[in-house]
Amino acid sequence: MSLDACHIPSISMQLTIHHSESSVILFLCFNQLSVGPENTLLTKSPSQENYLEGSNITLSCSAVSNPAALFYWLLNGSLLSDTGPEFRLINVQMSQSGDYSCQELLLFLSTINLFPRSVYRKPSLHRSLYFSDSLFCLTENITDYAVTSSTKQPVEGNSVNLTCDAAGSIFIRKWKKNGADLAFTDNMKLHDEGRVLCFQPLNKTDNGTYSCMISNPLSSVEAEYIMIVNCNRDLVEFSSVRLSCSVSSGSSVSFFWLNGSSEVTASDRVQLTDGNANLTIVNVTRYDRGPYKCDAFNALSNGSSDPESSVILFLCFNQLSVGPENTLLTKSPSQENYLEGSNIRLSCSAVSNPAALFYWLLNGSLLSDTGPEFRLINVQMSQSGNYSCQAFNNQTMIIQTSQPSFISVLSKFEEKDSDVECVRWSLKYICHL
C-alpha cells in the first residue's frame, strides 16, 4: 500500500499497527499547529500615568498567537466597540479615565488527516480570553486657586477657617506660614483632607502670611492669604495700656523690653514695674503700636535671652480712637464775593477715628445742618457772614472747630437808557458808556 505525503507537514508522528499478516503505518498530519494566545501585553504611548485633558494616547495590544488573535478593548471591564491591535484616544477627556484592558479571541479550524482514508472533524470554536490591563488617569491643570477666610475681619478669640480651593485635579495640599512649613499649635486643625485650616480660638500670634501649596503630577501652584488678627477691644488715644511678660519656670528672672530695635526705658509716659515684667504706657498714641519684644533671662543664662523664649507683642486693639484733628473747611467755587442767586458748596474734613460728626456754624451760632457738606442754594445777601465747621469724635469726646471762612453776598441791579448802562454793586456804581 502506498502512502501519500501530507502537504507541508509541521509535525508528524509514525504509528505502527500490527496485524497477523501485515502492518499499517499512519501519520498525524496537519498543516499548522494553533497555539496561544499567550504573553499578552498592553502598552501605551506616551508611557505615563497621568495625562492632561486634550492629550492623544495610543494603546497597543500584542500576544503570541497562531493564527493571529482578534483584539477587543474594555474600559473598567465593559466591552468597547473598538477592535484591532491598536486603540486611540484623541483629545482625551476626564470622563475617559479608567482601567483599560485588551482581550484576545482565537478562532481556528481543526483538521486531522488519517490514511489510508481521511477523517474530517467539524470546525470547532475555541474562545480563549486573555487580558492585559493598564490604568491611567487624566489630570487637569490647576487653575482658579485661592485661600479665603470665613470672615472678612478675623478677631482674637473667635473661630476662623481658611479654605484652600482650586479647579482641576488636586492630589496634594500643603500649608505654610511665612514661607516655612506650618507648625501646628493646639488651636489649629485640618479638615476635609487638608482643604480647610481651622483656628479655634484665634490668637494674636496667628498673624502672618499663610500659603497653600496645591499640586498634581503635572502642575503645582501656591495661593496666599495674609492673616491680620484684630483684637476684641477698642483703645482710645491718650488712655493707658499695660503689657505683661511672664515665664513658666525659672527664678530671679529679669525682663528686658524692646520697641522695634530700640530699648524701652522709663519716662513720663512709660512705666516699668514688677522687675520690668509690666510695661505701662500712659497717654498712648497711634504711634505706640509696636511691635514690643520681651526678653527674659537670669544669672544662669549669662544675661542673655533664649531666642525661642522671646515674646513679641503688639498693642492689641480693634481700633484706636483718635482725633479729630486738622479740621479744614473749603468752599467751591473758591472766592470771596458771590452774586445773589449763586450756589456755594462748603466741605469739612478732619483726621478722626471713628469718623467725625460734622456741624455747621454761622457767625458762631450753630445751624441745623449736619454732615461733611453744606450747600447754599440761590444764596442771598442775608446769608453773608463767617462760616465754620465743627468735627466731633464720640469716642474721644473731642470737638475741633475749623478756621472761619467769610462769604460776602452782593446784590446786583441794572439801570438802562439809550446811552448809559449802570450796574450797582453794593454801594458802588460802575458805569459803562
At 206, is the secondary structure helix, strand, or coil? helix
Contact 96, 89 (CB under 8 A): yes
Q: Check residue 103 and give its pLDDT.
A: 82
pLDDT in tens, 48-63: 777 777 888 899 988 8
Domain boundaries, the chain: 35-139, 143-227, 234-317, 321-412
**The CATH homologous superfamily of the domain defined by 35-139:** Immunoglobulins (2.60.40.10)
Whether the predicted pLDDT of 147 surpasses 70: yes
At 97, is the secondary structure helix, strand, or coil? coil
Q: What's the mean pLDDT when you consider all of the chain?
A: 76
Give the CA radius of gyration of the chain.
Answer: 47
Q: CB-based contacts of 114: which residues, under 8 Å, 6+ apart?
A: 26
Fold agreement (234-317, 321-412): yes
pLDDT in tens, 377-417: 999 999 999 999 999 999 888 999 999 999 999 987 644 44
Q: Fold for domain 234-317?
A: Immunoglobulin-like (2.60.40)
Least confident of 26-35, 59-68, 109-118, 386-395: 109-118
Contact 173, 214 (CB under 8 A): yes
Q: Check residue 392 and give its pLDDT.
A: 96
CA angle in degrees (0–180, nearest 5) for 230-234-237: 120
The CATH code of the domain at 143-227 is: 2.60.40.10
Whether omega before 201 lies within 30 degrees of 0, making that bond cis, reads yes
Q: Check residue 425 and give its pLDDT.
A: 43
270 pLDDT tier (thresholds 50, 70, 90): very high
Place of cell 498634581: 216
Q: Check residue 232 and give its pLDDT.
A: 63
CATH architecture of 321-412: Sandwich (2.60)
Whether the predicted pLDDT of 127 surpasses 80: no
Q: Check residue 113 and give its pLDDT.
A: 32
Q: Check residue 27 and give its pLDDT.
A: 53
Mean pLDDT, rounded, for 421-426? 44
Greater pLDDT, 174 or 124: 174
Q: How far apart are the C-alpha atoms of 390 and 330, rounded to whole Å?
A: 13
Contact 155, 231 (CB under 8 A): yes
Q: Check residue 70 and give its pLDDT.
A: 85
Whether the predicted pLDDT of 120 surpasses 60: no
Greater pLDDT, 242 or 160: 160
Q: Which of 94-103, 260-269, 291-300, 342-351 has the highest mean pLDDT?
A: 342-351
Mean pLDDT, rounded, for 174-179? 92
Residue percentage of the chain with pLDDT more than 90 = 28
pLDDT in tens, 204-227: 788 889 999 998 877 789 999 998
